[in-house]
Amino acid sequence: MTATLSFLERVQQIAEALLEAERTEPVAPPRPPADMARHIAVGPLDDDDTAGRTGLTCMAGVAPGRAGLPIEDVLDALERVALATPRTGTRRFFNQLFSGRIEAAAAGEMVASLLNTSMYTYKVAGPHALIETALTQHMARHIGYAEDQGEGVFSPGGSLANLAAMIVARNQAVPDARERGLDGRRLTMYGSADCHYSITKNAGIIGLGRQNLRKVECDQRGRMKPEALEAMIVADRKAGAVPVAVIATAGTTVLGAFDPIEPIADVAGRQKVWLHVDGALGGTTLLSRRLRHLVAGSARADSWTWDAHKLMGVPLSSSVVLVRERGLLEKHFSEAAAYLFHNAETELDHGVRSIQCGRRNDALKLWASWKHFGDEGYAQRVEHLFDLAQHMAEGIERRSSLVLTCRPESVNVCFEVRGKASEGVCEALRVEQLAMVGHAEVGGRRIIRAACVNADMTFDDIDAFLDAVEDVAPHAPDGDNAL
Ligand SMILES: Cc1ncc(COP(=O)(O)O)c(C=O)c1O
């Protein structure tokens, strides 16, 4: 047996141990950091241990030591780390907007890791550059862009996909911005009051200033009000600002609400501003005939963010930024680099379209998964997620101890336990190893947000989760959740 084979066999054992732990203990035991550090520590502690010297004493044995360790010890430590990690792929994980495990996608991710491809040029990426083009073009068609329109590039997460789109929007509105900066001009962009925090953060990053990311009022269900948007743009322009873009959200982070793209596109058209749709969460509805109405008008957007690591269930991260007009990504992101880009295969040298230089291969896992399910399989999966959320909402309405915040528009279900602090309920569920779920703020109240994003879940899993909530509630602190 070669050394390489035994290394893979050991990794397989670790994977099997993890799968078994997920079955028997779907929520990993929570540990405070010092305990966790002791648990994963490996190797002799050096007298002048770097971590100890810097005062982070609990990191002793976690930081690398002066001397190296045998591979066997490291693989054993990896197993301990794996088993101590919060489990995101189980049927008790509702805490974030990603979950589950798709075999084809996991296989794609593992192969990508072994290949260690960087996605900047065809010369280095080979088939993966074709795969990236095929996927981004396929996504562009689902948005509804014409055959001769649409280009995209994978980006490390939806936040940075939004960043790329906001840079393109800024540069399109102020053509010399890329060369000369903003020169004292006050540019404004618009997102809903419920838009993701990356939009505000990005406004700070790209030189607009966070204050110039204007927050537009939402309706009761968290959808941007187009008439409020237009009034704000008009007022800002009167006050001397240069409105450049509106960012509609397809699937907001907490309520899962969909801003109405058609009327927002009408406003963007009248006001001559760029329209970006942040579909990090809800972009996948484009694949379903039943759900597409939520993103009606999709092709009217100048750009899109679409995360495959959310509702498409592929491992983090797998996000795409797409623009309608071909050539814009290269126009705003290419740089001369004679040591890298040789104008050999510009179509396939995707690095010219990206903010990054070295870029990991986030395309292969999505390709494997999409090949496996096809458009139809993915449509069914995303529809199932919506059904899970509706089922949870109905279950909450039936249980007198629980209060639904509002009917879910998509996959996030927001609710409270009557008389109990939402934060305390979440913590009790985690400590009792019953479920992981997060809390957030809606309409001046702290609510529990359960994200139904694991398409392997069944209605029974949802019922079991609600049973668990009711079981731990008596042990959770009282509270009225008003902020
Ligand atoms: C609406 C929305 N946009 C963007 C993001 C950021 O995506 P990522 O976590 O991939 O950076 C999120 C994340 O939750 C989101 O909900």
Q: Best of 310, 318, 320, 360 to mutate for ligand 1, by most ligand atoms within 8 A of CB?
A: 310
Kindly give the number of the ligand 1 atom that is closest to the alpha carbon of 251.
Answer: 1
Distance CA(175)–CA(158), nearest Å, equals 25
- Which pLDDT score is estimated for 382? 98
Q: Best of 223, 252, 307 to mutate for ligand 1, by most ligand atoms within 8 A of CB?
A: 307
Is the residue at 98 inside a domain? Answer: no
Q: Does one domain contain both 250 and 399?
A: no
Is the residue at 110 inside a domain? Answer: no
For residue range 295-327, what is the model confidence (pLDDT) as tens digits?
999 999 999 999 999 999 999 999 999 999 999
Cα of 242 vs centre of ligand 1, distance in Å, is: 27
In which element (H, E) is residue 198 found?
helix 197-205
- Indicate which CATH number applies to the domain containing 253: 3.40.640.10
Q: Does one domain contain both 150 and 49?
A: no
Q: Count each helix (H run) and each strand (E run) in the chain, helices first.
A: 16, 12
Dihedral sign for Cα 262, 264, 265, 271, please.
positive
Helix (H, G, I), strand (E, B) or coil at 229: helix
Is the residue at 455 inside a domain? Answer: yes
Q: Does one domain contain both 401 and 275?
A: no
Q: What is the DSSP letter of 268?
A: H
Distance CA(49)–CA(60), nearest Å, equals 7
Q: Does one domain contain both 379 and 361?
A: no
For residue range 35-80, what is the model confidence (pLDDT) as tens digits?
999 899 988 776 555 554 455 556 778 888 889 999 999 999 999 9
Q: Best of 197, 278, 316, 321 to mutate for ligand 1, by most ligand atoms within 8 A of CB?
A: 278
What is the CA 360 to chain-centroid distance, rounded? Answer: 16
- Which pLDDT score is estimated for 56? 56
Cα of 74 vs centre of ligand 1, distance in Å, is: 34
- Which pLDDT score is estimated for 48? 54
Q: Which domain-ending residue is among 346, 368, 390?
A: 368
In degrees to the nearest 10, what's the CA dihedral of 260, 263, 269, 273? -40
Cα of 475 vs centre of ligand 1, distance in Å, is: 33
Is the residue at 36 inside a domain? Answer: yes
CA-only gyration radius of the chain, Å: 24
How would you write the pLDDT of the chain (483 residues) with one tens digit per residue? 345 558 899 999 999 999 999 999 999 999 998 899 989 998 877 655 555 445 555 677 888 888 999 999 999 999 999 999 999 999 999 999 999 999 999 999 999 999 999 999 999 999 999 999 999 999 999 999 999 999 999 999 999 999 999 999 999 999 999 999 998 899 999 999 999 999 999 999 999 999 999 999 999 999 999 999 999 999 999 999 999 999 999 999 999 999 999 999 999 999 999 999 999 999 999 999 999 999 999 999 999 999 999 999 999 999 999 999 999 999 999 999 999 999 777 799 999 999 999 999 999 999 999 999 999 999 999 999 999 999 999 999 999 999 999 999 999 999 999 999 999 999 999 999 999 999 999 999 999 999 999 999 999 999 999 999 999 999 999 999 999
- Which pLDDT score is estimated for 1? 37
Cα of 454 vs centre of ligand 1, distance in Å, is: 17
First CA to last CA across the chain, in angstroms? 62
- Which pLDDT score is estimated for 61? 85
Kindly give the number of the ligand 1 atom that is closest to the alpha carbon of 159.
Answer: 11
Q: Does one domain contain both 138 and 219?
A: yes
Q: Does one domain contain both 193 and 321?
A: yes
Distance CA(169)–CA(173), nearest Å, equals 6
Q: Does one domain contain both 60 and 206?
A: no
Cα of 97 vs centre of ligand 1, distance in Å, is: 8
Kindly give the number of the ligand 1 atom that is closest to the alpha carbon of 253.
Answer: 16
Cα of 283 vs centre of ligand 1, distance in Å, is: 11
Distance CA(308)–CA(302), nearest Å, equals 20
Is the residue at 352 inside a domain? Answer: yes
Q: Best of 98, 163, 199, 253 to mutate for ligand 1, by most ligand atoms within 8 A of CB?
A: 253
Q: Does one domain contain both 364 and 377?
A: no
Q: Which domain-ending residue is among 322, 339, 368?
A: 368
Of 412, 432, 460, nearest to 99 (Cα)? 412
Check: CB of residue 26 under 8 Å from CB of residue 92. Answer: yes
Kindly give the number of the ligand 1 atom that is closest to the alpha carbon of 162.
Answer: 4
Neighbours of 437 (CB within 10 A): 23
Q: Which domain-ending residue is among 368, 392, 421?
A: 368
Is the residue at 107 inside a domain? Answer: no
Cα of 83 vs centre of ligand 1, distance in Å, is: 27
Q: Does one domain contain both 290 and 212?
A: yes
Cα of 455 vs centre of ligand 1, distance in Å, is: 19
Cα of 309 vs centre of ligand 1, distance in Å, is: 10
One-letter amino acid at 56 equals: L
Domain membership of residue 462 as a residue range: 373-475
Q: Whose CA is nearest to atom 16 of ligand 1?
A: 253
Check: CB of residue 356 under 8 Å from CB of residue 319. Answer: no
Cα of 446 vs centre of ligand 1, distance in Å, is: 20
Is the residue at 481 inside a domain? Answer: no
Kindly give the number of the ligand 1 atom that is closest to the alpha carbon of 307.
Answer: 10
Distance CA(376)–CA(287), nearest Å, equals 8
Q: Does one domain contain both 147 and 291?
A: yes
Question: Who lines ligand 1 at CB under 6 A?
Answer: 97, 157-159, 162, 196, 198, 249, 251-253, 278, 280-281, 307, 317, 319
Q: Whose CA is nearest to atom 14 of ligand 1?
A: 253
Per residue in 392-418, is it b (16+ CB within 10 Å) or e — as a string? bbebbeebeebbbbbebbbbbbbbbbe
Helix (H, G, I), strand (E, B) or coil at 440: strand
Kindly give the number of the ligand 1 atom that is closest to the alpha carbon of 310.
Answer: 10
Q: Does one domain contain both 294 and 313?
A: yes
- Indicate which CATH number applies to the domain containing 470: 3.90.1150.170
* Orientation angle between helical segments 459-472 and 422-431, nearest 10 degrees: 110
> DSSP letters of 62-87?
TS--SS---HHHHHHHHHHHHHHS--
Q: What is the DSSP letter of 188?
A: E
- Which pLDDT score is estimated for 43? 85
Dihedral sign for Cα 161, 163, 164, 169, please.
positive
Check: CB of residue 402 under 8 Å from CB of residue 396. Answer: yes
Kindly give the number of the ligand 1 atom that is closest to the alpha carbon of 96.
Answer: 14
Cα of 398 vs centre of ligand 1, distance in Å, is: 31
319-323 and 303-307: which strand pairing?
A: antiparallel
Neighbours of 263 (CB within 10 A): 17
Residue 317 preceded by cis peptide, ω within 30: yes
Per residue in 272-303, is it b (16+ CB within 10 Å) or e — as a string? ebbbbbbbbbbbbbbbbeebeebbebbbbbbb
Number of domains the chain is built from: 3
* Bridge partners for 415 per DSSP: 404, 448
Q: Which two tokens stand for residue 192?
A: 């809903």
Per residue in 329-342, is it b (16+ CB within 10 Å) or e — as a string? bbbbbeeeeeebbe
Residue given tokens 């959808």 in the structure block: 223
Q: Whose CA is nearest to atom 5 of ligand 1?
A: 158
Q: Whose CA is nearest to atom 7 of ligand 1?
A: 158
Q: Does one domain contain both 166 and 50?
A: no
Is the residue at 80 inside a domain? Answer: yes
